[in-house]
Structure 1
Amino acid sequence: MRLRLRTRVRSLRDRSRGRLDDRGTSILEFAGFLPILLVIGLACIQLGLIGYGINQAGTGARAAARATSLGGDGTSAGVASVSDWLNPDVDAPPGAGDTSTATVTVHVPAIIPLFDDWELQRSATMPNDEDGG
């Protein structure tokens, strides 16, 4: 009986000091931290999309420059080698002299609402075919 009374007195004393009322605080801390985690996750995805856009722009520029250097249609080759959702703009004029240069601009959409879309540009230069086609 005496042991129960001591335990009960301790329990009441601890409650009055707020020691036992911390149930549920971890879910509140997580709920407060969740928006920060979401923004970090979206930023990582956005950086991945930008890296993919840079890679696609370089691939398109090389394909367009190579096609132009061989006497073909560089614009079609550049557009065909880039993902359609990046909306590529290819500038592949016929080569003057010994080289052909092509420039590809891709538009990477923003997934974080605070930012605008990114335009990424890459160029490539290839030697012209000596046979003329």
Structure 2
Amino acid sequence: MAGIPGGNALHALVLAVLEHGMRSLPKPEGLPVSLAQETGTGERTMTTFTGVGLEAAVKAARTKAGTSTAERVAIVWDGSLRGPEGDETAIMVLAQERGQPTTLVFAQRYSAKGSQIETIGGPGFVGDRKPLLG
């Protein structure tokens, strides 16, 4: 991800959670909002947020990320991107590494026909948002 903010370790985490998202989409339960936390040694844990709506689940994941002691965090969910031709389905990721001033937003667009999921293009950097890590 040359030219995109964030270090190699953060980019690797983003790609891993995007892959997790794409693998989860065809499952009957789909992709729940999930928080990945990664230590400085690369050990990862994943927490899912279910039983509430999408907005509440993302908010809960953001809150948990804010109290995390991890070096890197990433929140992933099944969302959409608004484009000139309307909304497009996409796996969305908010990611931050400790010491970085903002959270980075990434997306992987996809199309779904029944249980058949196909990516559209490659992962993209969307922009930045307020920090996740406290």
Is the TM-score greater than 0.5?
no
TM-score computed with the length of structure 1 as normaliser: 0.37
More strand by share: 2
TM-score of the superposed pair, with normalisation by structure 2: 0.37
- Structure with bigger helix share is 1
